[in-house]
Structures are given as structure tokens and as C-alpha cells.
Amino acid sequence: MKSSVVVGLQWGDEGKGKLVDQLAQQYDAIVRFNGGGNAGHTVVVGNEKKVFHVLPSAALWRKKLYIGAGVVVDPESLEQELSQNPVNVMVDYRCGLITPFEKWLDKRLEELRGTNAIGTTGRGIGPAYADRMLRVSPRVMDVVYGDFRDLSAVRRLIGGGDGITDEWIEMSRRVLSPIAGDVPGSLLSLYEEGGSILFEGAQGALLDITYGTYPYVTSSNTVASYVGVGAGFPASKIDEVIGVAKLYVTRVGAGPFPTEITGDLSEKIRGKGGEYGSTTGRARRVGWLDMVALKYAISLNEPAKLKLVFTKADVLAGLGDLRAAVAYSVDGKESSNFVDALAGKRVEPVYESFDPIPDVDWESVAKSGWGAAPKQLRNFIDFIQDYLKVEVTEVSIGARRGMSVELRRCAFSS
């Protein structure tokens, strides 16, 4: 009986998908609790790459999968994903649904924002969450039981028609009826019978609607404690939080990014790390590891239960110059508070330099273990652990399954 949550500690794309695929074998159920089809969780097996959007990244294992009520679901894209991955999944009755109207409104709002556009994924995510708050969102339950309250008047008021055509209802009912259910009740029974549960976060702490770089954020809470709401599972029963961060940082879409780098080096990192959005194909912005931001993200994710996993160490190798921000300079004063960046102040990163990590045969490091990793990488990780006062349990050194080295066993990975 154990429950763990995997969350991103940056702006998404930290490599959560790979980790969830790797951990999934140890759990009975894998659960999504936030976001929707904006997520692009990549799993690489051999030479094959799989990207999951609304299905948990454990879809390659025969596990019970759940989509909690904190997720917004587009039945059309769910149908597509299911046709490629015939899995055993339950979607909560209370999930809000994305209709053509929300997708239209997402794009229209971006047009209206003009140069202040957020750079959303265009999947209708923001409008879908807003609809719930306005109490005009159709839910899984409404489609399955066919009991639509009249939503059209309010939705027409916003200006795009209501998107809920007879065809849409029929398609949604076909997709959702066989898989709709009560996720909180099912999870609690499973847990009480001794089952173990892995919760898979989408996006990252800095994209959190409340705590992220608002308004350049997604529209759901992305922090671990949102499991309590988004899956209806008691947050007090979470045993461990696995926070995932890249050894550098990326961001796709607009918004503050204190350690952003441009020019040749950013192109090198982008090329080597394949830093293009898995959902939209957009080039990701690239920057140095920001330990001020990371400390902030950790503080929001159950720090006493949190273990850190770093990814993409192999990408930083062989690039020469290596840096990480250890503080900010704000109007000439040193600060180690990410809230200064949130407040739109001009923050200049204060960097520490580290010895370049040489490129090595990472396959053999994966086989031999952490002791075989270049000492420059081990020193870098030691520095980060001391700075953050959080244990790093694993470092990922390649996209494929198995390309990771453990430093210490996670509490439950036996």
C-alpha cells in the first residue's frame, strides 16, 4: 500500500513521461489528476517514440489507468488516443469536457491578446476550466446520462455558439459511456485493499494557475497536493512526491524566464535535447538551471516528502561552459526569492560556474551505475543537493527506457 505523485518542477517537459513509464511496474494504478490534452508525455521504447496527451504515460503496461475529475477531457482526441492504445481506463463522471467551442475560444482569446498572447497549446484548456467555474461546462456525467441542462444560452453569450451538436453528443457518448466511473471511490477501495497508486502530474510548478508565472501559465493546479482535488484521493495518504527537473530549463510559450539563453548555445542544446513541443512541435526556449526557481517549486510540493529526479544530464555533456543560477540580483540587491520574478521585477541571475561535463558512453554508465558517471556531473549534483537540501535519487542520462542511474533508492522502489 503506497501512493506516490510525480510532478514537474519547472515549466513542464521535465521528462515525467519517461519516469512514469519506468515506475509504473511497481504500482497497480496510474492516475492523471490535472491538465488535459495540452500535455505531451513522451516515452521512448527501443527506436519507437510514444506521446501521451490525456492517457497516463503508463499506457504501455497492462495497468489500471484513471483520469480524475481535475482533468479536462476532449472526447474527440481521447477517442484517437484510445484507438492507438487499447487500455483499461476509467474517466471520472465529473471531468469537464472540451467541445469545439472551448477550442475555438482558446484560439480566439489568443488572437485578442495579440502581442500579449500566452502561447497556449490551443487545446481548449483555459476555456474548459473557466466553464467549470462559470458552471456552464458539460461533464462526462451529462453526456453519459444525457441530462443536459441548457448551457447554450450562456455559452452563446460568450459568442461562439455552444459547440454541443447532436453529432458531438453521440460521439462523446460512444467514447465515454463504456469508461465513465467514480474515480475517487475506486481509488479509495483499491488503496484500502492494499493496492498502490501512482499519480502523474502534467505540466510543472511554474505553470501552476495560482503559483506559476501568471498569466503565462496553464489553467490548472500542477502541484502535488492537487491530487486531493483532481483525483479526489486524500492528500494526507500521499507517501512520497517525486519532483522531476531537467538539469537545464526549457519553456514553451511566452512569459518570464530569468535564466534564458539565446544564440548558438541555445540552438545546440535545443538540437541535442530535441527541445520541440511534443504537443505542438514549437521550438522550446532554453536556459540554465535556475535553483532559485527550483527551490520555490520544491517548497510548493510537499518538501518533506519530496525526492528529486534530474533528467537530460547527457544533453549538457560535451557543451563546455556549465552554469546554474544560485540567486537573483534585483535592483542591485541579491535575492533568492522567486516571487521577485513573479512580480515582474527585473531579475538578473547570479550564476555559479561548474566544470564542463565530458561526453561519455552513457549506455555503459547506465549499466555500471552512478559511480561510473563523470565526476563533474557527480560534483554538480552534490552542489545542487547541498543548495536545495533535498535528496536527488536518480539522474536520467538518455531518453530510452533504462537510460537512468539511481543514486539512492526511492523509498518504495524495491
Binding site for ligand IMP (CB under 6 A): 11-13, 38-40, 118-121, 123, 125-126, 202-203, 207, 216, 218-219, 252-253
For ligand IMP, give the closer residue by CB, 202 or 298: 202
CB of 250 to ligand IMP, least distance (A): 8
CA 354 to chain centre: 28
* Residue 352 CB contacts under 8 Å (≥ 6 apart), including other chains: 323, 324, 325, 326, 383
Instruction: Decide whether 163 or 204 has the Cβ nearer to Mg ion.
Output: 204
Residues in CB range of 283: below 8 A, 6 or more apart? 252, 270, 275, 276, 277
With beta carbons less than 8 A apart as the criterion, state whether 390 and 308 touch: yes
> Shortest approach of Mg ion to residue 14 CB, angstroms?
8
Interface with Mg ion by CB under 5 A: which residues? 13, 40, 278
User: Which residue, 106 or 142, is less far from ligand IMP as judged by CB?
Assistant: 106
> Which option in ligand IMP, Mg ion, none does residue 203 bind, with CB closer than 5 to 8 A by kind?
ligand IMP
Picked from Mg ion, ligand IMP, none, the partner binding residue 38 (CB below 5 to 8 A depending on kind) is ligand IMP
Cβ closest to ligand IMP, residue 75 vs residue 126:
126
The CB-of-31 to ligand IMP minimum distance in angstroms stands at 17
CB-CB contact of 58 with 81 (8 Å) = no
Write down the least CB distance from residue 191 to ligand IMP, Å: 27
User: What single-letter DSSP state applies at residue 30?
Assistant: E
Output the smallest distance, CB 363 to Mg ion, in A: 25
How far is 308 from 285, CA to CA, in rounded Å? 23
Instruction: Compare residues 228 and 255 and give the one whose CB is closer to ligand IMP.
Output: 255
Q: Which of 13, 21, 131, 290 is catalytic?
A: 13
Residue with smallest beta-carbon separation from ligand IMP: 253
41 is catalytic: yes
Gap between the Cα atoms of 33 and 66, Å rounded: 9
- Between 186 and 218, name the residue whose CB sits nearer to Mg ion: 218
Which listed option, ligand IMP, Mg ion, none, makes contact with residue 118 (CB within 5 to 8 Å by class)? ligand IMP
What DSSP string describes 50-89? EEESSS-TTTTSS-EEEE-TTSEE-HHHHHHHHHHS--EE
- Min CB(280)–ligand IMP separation in Å: 7
Is the distance from CB of 70 to CB of 89 less than 8 angstroms? Answer: no
202 binds, among ligand IMP, Mg ion, none (CB under 5 to 8 A by kind): ligand IMP
123 binds, among ligand IMP, Mg ion, none (CB under 5 to 8 A by kind): ligand IMP
Is residue 53 annotated as a catalytic residue, yes or no?
A: no
Catalytic residue (choose from 21, 41, 74, 142): 41
Q: What angle do CA 160, 162, 167 make, to 5 degrees?
A: 125
- Helix, strand, or coil here: 180? strand
**Residue 226: all three cell numbers together:** 492537487
The whole-angstrom separation of Cα 88 and Cα 84 is: 13
User: Which does residue 125 bind out of Mg ion, ligand IMP, none, counting CB within 5 to 8 angstroms by kind?
Assistant: ligand IMP
Segment (H or E) for 267: helix 264-273
The residues assigned a catalytic role are 13, 41
